[in-house]
């Protein structure tokens, strides 16, 4: 899972819970959170990438994707929760 976040403490736990057991790794690009987002991400086992926001979502996304060595990448926003069963492992 690769995400870009900033001040998402309210939404992040639900998103991360929804992909538990589905993704092997979580890479979260934090663009300057001032709330508990970073602590929640770390508690979920995410790898955090600090990124100074430069008004460029592609640059932030690429900073996260650079950390992925291989495989498929699921990209979600913190307010996204996949429908149950849609991401089942095969």
Mean predicted confidence (pLDDT) in 40-63: 97
pTM score of the predicted model:
0.89
pLDDT of residue 69: 87
Residue 82 reports pLDDT greater than 70: yes
- DSSP letter for each residue of the chain: -EEEESS-TTTHHHHHHHTTTT-S--EEEES---SSHHHHHHHTTPEEEE----S-HHHHHHHHHTT--SS---B--TT--PPTTTT---
Residue 75 reports pLDDT greater than 90: yes
Mean predicted confidence (pLDDT) in 16-34: 94
Residue 23 CB partners (closer than 8 Å, separation 6+): 1, 74
Q: What proportion of the chain, given as a percentage, has pLDDT over 90? A: 77
């Amino acid at each position: 899972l690769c995400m870009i976040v900033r001040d998402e403490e309210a939404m992040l736990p639900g998103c991360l819970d929804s992909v538990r057991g589905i993704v092997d790794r979580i890479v979260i690009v934090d663009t300057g959170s001032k709330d508990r987002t970073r602590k929640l991400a770390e508690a979920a086992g995410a790898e955090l990438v600090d990124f100074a926001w430069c008004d460029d979502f592609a640059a932030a996304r690429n900073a996260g994707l650079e950390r992925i060595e291989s495989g498929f990448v699921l990209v979600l926003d913190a307010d996204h929760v996949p429908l149950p069963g849609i991401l089942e492992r095969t």
